[in-house]
Structure 1
């Protein structure tokens, strides 16, 4: 660690390589029973088979009359079939039913009500129906014994409705990764800053992002830039799956957290080829992964999306869905450094049936408004040296979807 402190980040790990090393850890094997009411987004740890048919009875699929199909054969507008309204099904009988009603025993189809007319105690049927027409048979939706979901499936609202329909109220799910967020820095305060003090925002932002991504988060109080205090803070949360620190990850005299983690375990990445936020560090102490985010708010967010999000998804066996994107025409050129993955915040405007992306004027990694008031960011890959004005770019709406 002393070499880095003396020389700075002469060598920076590529983003893909850093992420690969970070994710070289087994997913969680803890599971928990979860009520269906709060199971949206949870990852199943066991298969689910249907214990019963849905529907479990033959039911009318339309409002109308339950009949025997053979009694309607040949019916037409000019020559309607004449049936008698009845309470039970039988030859030449018709029973009034509504959508979802149980099909009466002896009936095999339903005539839609608009194809009938009651006159003088009789029912005229103007359209012939086939056996089974307008009837939902037993098991039409789900058959008993049918495999519905495999382990690893992430539940959606439609899944919850289907599970409720087959009588399931709880599911066995992969436990949420447990994450502790620890803000560090002697200049940080919660409110009313004096000159030289800064209101701490990273804990709030990063912890809320982690919760969106599927973690159970513990928010810790600010820890000052003191070696012993930082060591105690890290050791306190080694029962968690992940410890996230914010601040103190660079190479200055007060950037102590990588040194503390190195003493307790291992720092396998310190300095990544991305901008903003290259001073990120990644390590592991015992079975706990430590993600050391830079203190500048934008740098913390960029690195959280690039590293903490995939780590949480990996540990929790959750699919890492693509970040939503939109194509847009760049209104100003973007400058970037070759070999560095650059994240450029942009505002979007619709013009002439296309979107235009304009880089924000304020672009420093400490300018929180540059990301909070932006509509997304453009990722300039390491292989490029800037993007010219007028080029169509892909804007990532990283905040829209977990």
Structure 2
């Protein structure tokens, strides 16, 4: 597809968000690189193996309460008015004995129940028991928590701190996990500088922002130097990073005279989608070069962030064999109307303000439009997603605010 044809098309036909994502994900496969790591370094990593318990937890019958280990039959008939009197013993439990135990301690041989300390009273070397217990009561059996050979986790499970504690409890010290996916981040635009801009120059922020997001999403980003708006330079930069799992460019994704990136990608690979029905940021393009997905993000900062969340995040997760969890949400009462173009998915940035008169916070739009206003995102608490079938939300409606900066 030539650059002239792209410009002539003018995005009259924009692909819906779900269709665009499905199209590119159909062309993406998870990598097969793995490494074995200690569980102390495995938080947030994705398992590449099925994990089963080599040992039971507990590995012995244990007391589940502080109290006395007994033979349950010795306590039958015990009441507050007529307690059973047992000998205070040590070691193994014989009929008529009560041996002091603590929560988690090994159940003495011969015992089959534990009387809670609250239901006993010590009188000399005897123990008065005021409540009968059944066999097995207040006892944790071998394997009660985890049975030997029990399947704990499947490949693709993202490990959490609680998982690591469970793994340690069954004696597992190392696990096989998928390597972090790699991504080359290439900002484009000859007007971009890193600092001290002159008139007509702009400080580069998109590459930094996208790199930090990629790191949060479990990838290893390489933040490249700015590439000028030159087809040959853009081609060379993309080809240099084809060894990465994903290549992402920022800027130059639309149909203007200096928007060369889609043309370059289509020349050396395939542009699968160009122009998506979302706002802000419809000039996003998604392609593949030599089986490497290339995500071409718009240059306006807000549009860049919206598309990174919608497309780069799930692509990185898929390539890295990681689950794609939904973002946390909170309900809020909308402060004022949000408008949206029918057929377009709109992401309206909002700030949440506590409302003493209701149980829900108030959602105040930070800006209704303006894909270049970075502060409208940086100072927001989330965004309200207006689906394609709606023309917006009215003031006073209860809306769902998505915390898109959540790191998982």
Report TM bin, short chain.
over 0.9
Which of 163, 167, 172 is the aligned partner of 1:159? Answer: 163
Moved more, 267-276 or 389-398: 389-398
Which of 311, 314, 335 is the aligned partner of 2:315? Answer: 311
* TM-score, scaled relative to structure 2: 0.93
2:16 and 2:275 mapped to 1: Cα distance?
9
1:324 and 1:331 mapped to 2: Cα distance?
21
Given that residues 349 and 368 in structure 2 are in contact (C-alpha distance below 8 angstroms), is that contact kept between their aligned partners in structure 1? no
Residue 226 of structure 1: how far off its partner (Å): 2.4
2:136 and 2:9 mapped to 1: Cα distance?
80
2:388 and 2:77 mapped to 1: Cα distance?
74
1:180 and 1:96 mapped to 2: Cα distance?
64
Give ranges in structure 1 of 5+ residues lacking alignment. none
Given that residues 345 and 363 in structure 1 are in contact (C-alpha distance below 8 angstroms), is that contact kept between their aligned partners in structure 2? no
1:230-288 C-alpha deviation (Å, 9 max, x unpaired): 22211111111100111111222222222221222111211112111111111111021
Residue 102 of structure 1: how far off its partner (Å): 0.6
Residue 6 of structure 1: how far off its partner (Å): 4.4
2:266 and 2:406 mapped to 1: Cα distance?
35
Query: Residues 225-374 of structure 1: matches in 2 within 5 Å?
Result: 225-351=229-355, 352-353=357-358, 354-361=360-367, 363-374=369-380
Residue 336 of structure 1: how far off its partner (Å): 2.1
Which of 118, 121, 140 is the aligned partner of 2:122? Answer: 118
Moved more, 331-340 or 131-140: 331-340
RMSD value over aligned CA atoms?
1.8
| Paired residues, number | 402
* TM-score, scaled relative to structure 1: 0.94
Residue 7 of structure 1: how far off its partner (Å): 5.0
Change (3 A) 1:80 1:387: closer
Change (3 A) 1:343 1:51: same
SS at match of 1:251: coil
Given that residues 324 and 401 in structure 1 are in contact (C-alpha distance below 8 angstroms), is that contact kept between their aligned partners in structure 2? no
Given that residues 230 and 260 in structure 2 are in contact (C-alpha distance below 8 angstroms), is that contact kept between their aligned partners in structure 1? yes
Query: Residues 103-142 of structure 1: matches in 2 within 5 Å?
Result: 103-142=107-146
Given that residues 243 and 289 in structure 1 are in contact (C-alpha distance below 8 angstroms), is that contact kept between their aligned partners in structure 2? yes
SS at match of 2:393: coil
2:293 and 2:343 mapped to 1: Cα distance?
27
1:392 aligns with 2:398: yes
Change (3 A) 1:361 1:265: closer
1:100 aligns with 2:107: no
The equivalent of 1:4 in structure 2 is 6
SS at match of 2:377: helix
1:27-50 C-alpha deviation (Å, 9 max, x unpaired): 223322232122223322221221
Residue 139 of structure 1: how far off its partner (Å): 0.7
2:391 and 2:89 mapped to 1: Cα distance?
81
The equivalent of 2:70 in structure 1 is 67
Given that residues 349 and 367 in structure 2 are in contact (C-alpha distance below 8 angstroms), is that contact kept between their aligned partners in structure 1? no
The equivalent of 2:151 in structure 1 is 147
Residue 55 of structure 1: how far off its partner (Å): 0.3
Residue 22 of structure 1: how far off its partner (Å): 0.9
The equivalent of 2:189 in structure 1 is 185
Given that residues 241 and 287 in structure 1 are in contact (C-alpha distance below 8 angstroms), is that contact kept between their aligned partners in structure 2? no
Residue 166 of structure 1: how far off its partner (Å): 0.8
SS at match of 2:337: coil
Residue 85 of structure 1: how far off its partner (Å): 1.9
SS at match of 1:22: helix
Change (3 A) 1:51 1:7: closer
SS at match of 1:217: strand
The equivalent of 2:87 in structure 1 is 84
1:116 and 1:327 mapped to 2: Cα distance?
51
